[in-house]
Structure formats: C-alpha cells, structure tokens
Amino acid sequence: MFDYIFFDLDGTLTDSSLGITNSFIYALKYYGEEIPSYKKLCTFIGPPLPETFKTQFGFNDEKTAEAVKKYREYFESKGLFENSVYQDIPEILQKFKIAGKHLVVATSKPEKYSVQILEFFNLAKYFDFICGSHMDESHSKKDEIIASGLKKCNIKTDDQKSKVIMIGDRLHDIIGAKKNGIKSAGVLFGFGNLSELQNAGADYIIKTVTDLERFL
C-alpha cells in the first residue's frame, strides 16, 4: 500500500509527556505564570514551542525567545529522557523494515534532540532519515519538515507521493501531510483526539500501536 512511512515522534513513537510538561512548568515558573493543568499542558505537545508561548501565554517575540531558552535548560538536562517508547513500537518498526518499507521521522522537535532520543531508545537504526526543526526554531512547521523528508527520499511526482503516508497524533501532522499531497493517519494513543484528527481530514484513524500493521 505505502512504501514510505513518515512518523511523528512525540505521541506517536514515544510518550514524552513527562519531560515536555516539566519543561513547560520550569519555563512558566520563571515568569511567575499560572501553571495550567497537566491535561492542558499535554495539548502543548506537538506544535512548535514559539507558537505555544505566543498563542497560549501572549508572549512577544523577545519573551518567547527567552522562554524557549528556559524550556531547554530543563529539557536538555532532564526532560529529554523523561520519556518512554510506546509498547510494541520497536516490533512494529522491525516488521516494517523486514517488509522493505522506507521509514522517516518527521517531527517539529529539533533534529538534534530527536536523534539523541531515538539513539537512546535504540530506534534510530530503523529510519532512513530523521527530520526535525533547527535549534533556532526555524524550519519548525510540520509541512516544511515533511517536505524536507520527501526531498531526502527523492520523492517529487504525484505518483511517488501516492506511496507515502504520514502518521501522527495531532492535527499539525494531518495538515502538513495534506499540504504536501500525501495521505495521513491519525493515532489515538498519543496526545490528540478523534475529533481533532477527523476535523483535520485524516485519511485513516489508528486506535492502537498494533493497528499500524495494516500498513505492512
């Protein structure tokens, strides 16, 4: 069905909620901001950091840049590995590779951190490419990252794109896929929900990790 399978990282391959929410708490406490509920903090997982600080807390550009630095103070020292791989993900990835699929990570997380996390959990070996944002938070929109992955795979034509699917847990994954002319699958074991993914136009809905086997 699909020869190239693009995966989001947070909420799709790993449950990174503890490290990310703790990093937000660390940054927000620095500014004396009221700390949102854990449930609300989890909704910040997925979008680029600057977008969250601006839209959710009304930070200007200067304050946002500083807030991202504070977030990373915690994330780099502790939050990076306050993380766990979803059960059955390694087995699923191995099955995909055995079946001859080309696997790519497409995440808004900085590429540097993404590589560290995937190597730490011994998952990097399954992927042809790991595509993420830059450390200065540029190149962080999901459509840009997916486009980068397509370019690295030398996928240009509509016929080639028909063999590609993007799998993720948030609307940004679905919208990014649409902007690049590829199919998308929304997973329900991450940080999004059914209505969010359906409203964004996901072509497939995946309830559990093992349900990913439908793309073998």
Question: Span 60-65, mean pLDDT?
Answer: 96
Q: What is the pLDDT of residue 216?
A: 84
Which residues are identified as catalytic? Answer: 8
With contact defined as beta carbons under 8 Å apart, do 147 and 162 qualify?
no
The pLDDT tens digits for 69-102 are 999 999 999 999 999 999 999 999 999 999 999 9
Counted domains in the chain: 2
Q: What is the pLDDT of residue 176?
A: 98
Same domain? 76 vs 119: no
CB atoms within 10 A of CB 91: 12
Last residue in a domain, options 28, 63, 81: 81
Question: Span 163-179, mean pLDDT?
Answer: 97
Least confident of 14-18, 132-136, 169-173: 132-136
**The whole model's pTM is what?**
0.94
Q: What is the pLDDT of residue 12?
A: 98
The CATH code of the domain that includes 165 is 3.40.50.1000
Residue with tokens 């999004």: 192
Same domain? 186 vs 113: yes
Q: What is the residue range of 30's domain?
A: 17-81
Question: Span 149-175, mean pLDDT?
Answer: 97
Mean pLDDT of the chain: 96
The pLDDT tens digits for 121-147 are 999 999 999 999 999 878 889 999 999
